[in-house]
């Protein structure tokens, strides 16, 4: 089982404030989280602004959507515009003109996504820039320095992600590497962080023993939150659920829990029911730019994903309806699905903005409903309604 000693509790409370608001069933819960740049309630979906921008949206749009925490990426901000530029602008919040909480990924994800163009060493990773081919090195210490320089509220320890296809020995090696880098990350964090909070990341591939060992490694450190990472999380729905089932009775309930890369509606209900507080995914805005709308359980979708609808089809041109009757976003209040279909078919840039607004509002509105159901102890009923069982 989890262990949290008094010294760990004291350090965590010095850097982040968590107030438990409600719980529904054994695992689903609501926290109010206070950081340097504001408050948000969990469970929460975090829109992704990789390079300091959520594609096609202004932060007036983001504020109206009700997003009180977003994600940015250290690796990409390091490459462009550069950490020093962000610092000269007064940190990422001033640079982006965003007044709420920001979480940054450490760059560890790129070890997985850019695996063909890097060299991993004991003390860090040699990457090759996708911009000009230059080689550069990121270590746990440098990753923490960069994230502190960016000025995000929640920073991630540098980790070595595992692939779904990893053998036990490969996953064990990456788990041990992640442990070593967590300790180096935290040592640097202790020296230089001020208001920031740090999360460790559980690795171990598709192996229960390794996942539990990695969880123990993190819970023996005074980190503020516990992220569950690796290719299996978010990418493979069944393995995501399996991994959480392995650790849900062992993970410290007094810290924030974060699944990285989870953004489909059915996945969200599954992870929240297993005690997850935070999740992020590029999917809502990425599919919006291709003309796919997120829709509610009442509005139907396609056979492979009933929460999605391709609105670029000509059958929608004559429709006066809004995209989804459940949605209250700016787009649905002001435009018909017929008009947005026309914008996509005419290759108008406004289409990206309007559908991205809709898709992200669907996510934030869903999270509002989930949080309310937990407060009313009706989460399982809401889950059954959306999942249609």
Secondary-structure breakdown of the chain: helix, strand, coil percentages, each rounded to the nearest 5: 45, 20, 35
**Residues 61, 159, 280, 324: which is the catalytic one?**
280
Is 292:340 a contact under the CB 8 Å cutoff?
no
159 is catalytic: no
Is 34:15 a contact under the CB 8 Å cutoff?
no
280 is catalytic: yes
Q: Helix 168-192 to helix 208-219 angle, to the nearest 10 degrees?
A: 10
- Residue 73 β-bridge partners: 105
**Residues 105, 217, 277, 324: which is the catalytic one?**
105
Do β-strands 256-260 and 278-280 pair in parallel, antiparallel, or remain unpaired?
Answer: parallel
User: Whole-angstrom Cα distance, residue 63 to residue 314?
Assistant: 33
| CA–CA distances in Å: residue 266 to residues 244, 272, 273, 374, 387 | 15, 10, 11, 17, 7
Burial class of 241 by CB neighbour count within 10 A (0 to 12, 13 to 18, 19+): middle
User: Whole-angstrom Cα distance, residue 142 to residue 78?
Assistant: 11
Residue showing tokens 């796919």: 292
Instruction: Output phi, psi for 73, to 5 deg.
Output: -120, 125
| CA–CA distances in Å: residue 179 to residues 122, 167, 214, 216, 220 | 12, 18, 7, 10, 11
- Catalytic positions: 105, 280
């Amino acid at each position: 089982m989890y262990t949290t000693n008094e010294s760990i509790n004291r350090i965590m409370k010095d850097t982040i404030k968590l107030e438990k608001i409600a719980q529904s069933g054994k695992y689903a819960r609501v926290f109010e989280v206070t950081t340097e740049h504001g408050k948000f309630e969990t469970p929460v979906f975090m829109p992704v602004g990789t390079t300091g921008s959520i594609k096609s949206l202004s932060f007036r749009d983001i504020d109206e959507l009700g997003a009180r925490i977003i994600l940015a990426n250290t690796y990409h901000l390091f490459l462009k515009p550069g950490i020093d530029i962000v610092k000269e602008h007064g940190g990422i919040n001033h640079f982006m003109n965003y007044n709420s909480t920001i979480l940054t990924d450490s760059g560890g994800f790129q070890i997985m996504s850019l695996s063909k163009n890097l060299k991993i060493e004991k003390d860090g990773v040699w990457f090759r820039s996708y911009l000009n081919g230059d080689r550069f090195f990121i270590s746990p210490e440098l990753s923490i320095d960069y994230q502190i320089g960016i000025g995000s509220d929640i920073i991630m320890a540098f980790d070595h992600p595992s692939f779904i296809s990893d053998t036990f020995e490969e996953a064990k090696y990456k788990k041990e590497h992640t442990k070593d880098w967590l300790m180096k990350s935290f040592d640097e964090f202790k020296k230089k962080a001020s208001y920031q909070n740090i999360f460790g990341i559980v690795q171990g591939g598709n192996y229960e023993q390794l996942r539990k060992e990695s969880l123990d490694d993190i819970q023996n450190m005074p980190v503020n939150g516990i992220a569950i990472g690796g290719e299996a999380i978010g990418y493979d729905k069944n393995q995501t659920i399996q991994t959480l089932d392995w650790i849900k009775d062992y993970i410290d309930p007094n810290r924030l829990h974060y699944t990285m890369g989870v953004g489909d509606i059915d996945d969200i209900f599954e992870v929240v029911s297993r005690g997850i507080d935070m999740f992020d995914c590029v999917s809502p805005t990425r599919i919006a730019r291709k003309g796919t709308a997120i829709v509610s359980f009442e509005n139907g979708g396609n056979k492979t994903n009933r929460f999605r609808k391709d609105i670029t089809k000509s059958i929608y041109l004559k429709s006066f309806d809004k995209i989804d009757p459940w949605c209250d976003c700016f787009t649905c209040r002001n435009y018909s699905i017929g008009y947005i279909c026309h914008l996509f078919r005419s290759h108008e840039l406004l289409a990206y903005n309007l559908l991205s607004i809709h898709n992200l509002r669907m996510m934030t509105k869903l999270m509002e409903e989930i949080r309310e159901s937990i407060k009313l102890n009706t989460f399982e009923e809401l889950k059954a309604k959306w999942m249609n069982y």
